[in-house]
Structure 1
Amino acid sequence: MTEHYDNTSASSSSSSSSSLNSSSHETEDDQTIAGILAEEENFKNDGKLGKRLSHLDSIPHTPRVNGEIPDVNDATLDHERLSERLATYDLAELQIERDGNCQFRALADQLFHNPDYHKHVRKKVVKQLKHFRKTYEGYVPLEYKSYLKKMKKLGEWGDHVTLQAAADRFGAKICVVTSFRDTCYIEILPNDKNPSRELWLSFWSEVHYNSLYASGEIPTRAPKKKYWLF
């Protein structure tokens, strides 16, 4: 009994130490992000893109997991439709790497002006999904723990549930210009707060996300100081 108690105590102490270390890393993480935001003046959204599409009606957003990938013909038509819409509203895409992380890379570009911070964005989104399970699990048609485990993996495609979680976690209105036949534009709002920023994405339906800017204003990506985020 005593030996068992001591081992449990040691295990508890180790677990507590691990928890403290994890908490410390989380604090450093958030402090680093705050520092990046403070240093970068161009994070502030001037609302120009929002004004450009202000006359469009956004359908109520219902989070959902990804649907079936369209066949080649449908995908081609969808891409043409999206390209026409972007041209109509004088929008341009920053091309995001197609490695399965495109949604998180596009969000990282909009949040931190660096798609390479996608691992940090994914981590925060999964944490949001885990800690506020009751908010999201009704939109997930598979076992929720399996869904979380899947979303933790690099290369796993983000969906409209992760977009909602990102809006909630980062306090952002996520504006998505889509290739959907019947829906040009979707706004995803935080559930419990007023948004403090706007993030602009394009969505080639069930295929790819890119980061959106006004035409002629796509930023160049000069090498930046590397921050510990992961």
Structure 2
Amino acid sequence: TDDNKRFKSKTLVPVMNKNNDNANHDVRNSDLREKIELNKRPSTRGLKYLSNLKESISLSELSINDFTFHSLTEQLRVLNLRKIKIIGDGNCFFRAISHQLFGNQTYHRELRYYAITYITQNSSAFESFISNDDNTIYDYIIRMKRNKTYADHLIIIATASILSHNIIVHEYRKRPLLIPGSDYIDQQFHIAYDPENQHYESIKKFDGTTPILSFEQLQQT
């Protein structure tokens, strides 16, 4: 159905002066809460993705014979896509998702908060997927909820889950990596990742709309 194709972003109330900061924050939270679903269990697909993470990343790599592009920009252009510059302050993943949702980077703090809330509520399901940087899932939560902490695959899965969208990560010399958040292939957010700088950017079509790639396009890139 048309309802399953994409979210419609709302017009945000501009911040005019310091006196209405709180009011505008409430409006932003209200807009975002409409798109968030916290009261659900992590999906089997999401947990399977985390379990097979190394294999999924390896399968996305293109062989030398398959690869003809000289940059990610060129790689994206074939799909009629382009990168949108995102501030590089450690919040870039959440800023990129905010841009996918609303066309701006405003919501990065709220998105981090909701993703961490979801992980906290489902800590037993996620605890086996934390990295060696953390001793327990609670150490992970404390670290990841801090502003400017870089995102990892666990927080990305949580974000995809609460927004009920697949997050498609585009990286140079790799096929797009689908991080599952929805059973509908056309529920997509697109972001670019630069591993050298550990930086995410938003991706849009050249006409400014949100991309929706078919399963075949995701496999052929």
TM-score, normalised to structure 1, is 0.58
Residue number in structure 2 paired with 1:215: 206
Structure 1 residue 29: Cα displacement:
7.5
Contact preservation (8 Å) 1:171, 1:196? no
* Match of residue 73 from structure 2: 83
Separation of aligned partners in 1, 2:120 and 2:141: 7
Identical columns (%): 23
2:154 corresponds in structure 1 to 161
User: CA shift at 1:128, angstroms?
Assistant: 0.9
Q: Give yes or no for contact 1:93–1:218 (8 Å, CA) kept in 2.
A: no
Q: CA RMSD in A?
A: 3.1
Could you tell me whether the CA contact under 8 Å between 2:85 and 2:202 is conserved in 1? yes
- How far residue 132 of structure 1 moved from its aligned partner, in angstroms, is 0.8
Greater shift after overlay, 84-93 or 111-120?
84-93
Partner of residue 62 from structure 1, selected from 50, 58, 63: 50
Aligned length: 154
**Who is 1:148 aligned against?**
141
1:86-107 deviations in whole A, cap 9, x for unaligned? Answer: 1332211110001110000001
- Aligned equivalent of 2:178: 187
TM-score (norm 2): 0.60
Match of 2:190 in 1: 200
For structure 2, the 5+ residue unaligned runs are 1-25, 36-47, 55-68, 211-221
Give deviations 1:199-221, integer Å, cap 9, x for gaps: 111111252100101124279xx
Structure showing greater Rg: 1
| Gap regions ≥5 residues in structure 1 | 1-26, 38-59, 66-78, 220-230
Q: CA separation in 1, counterparts of 2:207 and 2:84?
A: 11
Match of 1:24 in 2: none
Following the alignment from structure 1 to structure 2, what is the Cα–Cα distance between the partners of residues 196 and 127?
26
Aligned residue for 1:115, secondary structure, equals coil
Contact 2:28 2:107 in 1 (8 A): no
The Cα of 1:195 is off from its aligned counterpart by 7.1
